[in-house]
Amino acid sequence: MHRIAGLSVLLVEDEALIAMDVSQLLANTKCRVIGPCRDVACALEAIEREHIDCAILDVKLGREHTLHLADALAERGVPLVWMSGYERQVLPARYRDRPFVPKPFVAQDLFDALGEAISGGR
């Protein structure tokens, strides 16, 4: 059994193929996928109404940045993983210590980052 099995994971990703791949990977490890949310409004709604154990956030959705989503999750104590084609340095200093998965991604790197996030490894 994978250590992330059973988690409710919010997926915030605007690229349809990546969202499909990540959703399938998470479902295969027995995670409950919330989303994928392709815009900030969808993600904010999910944060308000769903129980979320962990989140995977793309840094940018089209023209929208997701930093205020990270703030909303942090206020609720929800760990997050950044997954982006951008470099980690584009993140504000307060979020650079969070697990980060570069795109294109390797499944094991994503699983390891989720495990780190839920284990308290900021």
| pLDDT, tens digit (0-9, with 9 covering 90-100), for 76-120 | 999 999 999 999 999 999 999 999 999 999 999 999 999 999 997
Q: Label residue 57 by pLDDT band (50, 70, 90).
A: very high
Q: State yes or no: pLDDT of 1 exceeds 70.
A: no
Whether the CB-CB separation of 114 and 56 falls below 8 Å is answered with yes
Q: Can you give the pLDDT at residue 3?
A: 82
Radius of gyration of the chain (CA): 13
Rounded-to-integer distance, Cα 57 and Cα 83, Å: 6
pLDDT of residue 11: 98
| Domain residue ranges in the chain | 8-118
Assess if CATH 3.40.50.2300 describes domain 8-118: yes
Residue 121 in this model has a pLDDT that exceeds 70: no
Count other C-beta atoms under 10 Å from residue 76's C-beta: 10
**9: CB partners within 8 A, 6+ apart:** 26, 31, 32, 33, 34, 52, 53, 54, 55, 56, 114
Read off the pLDDT of each residue in 65-71 and give the average, rounded to a whole number: 95
Q: For the chain, give the mean pLDDT.
A: 94
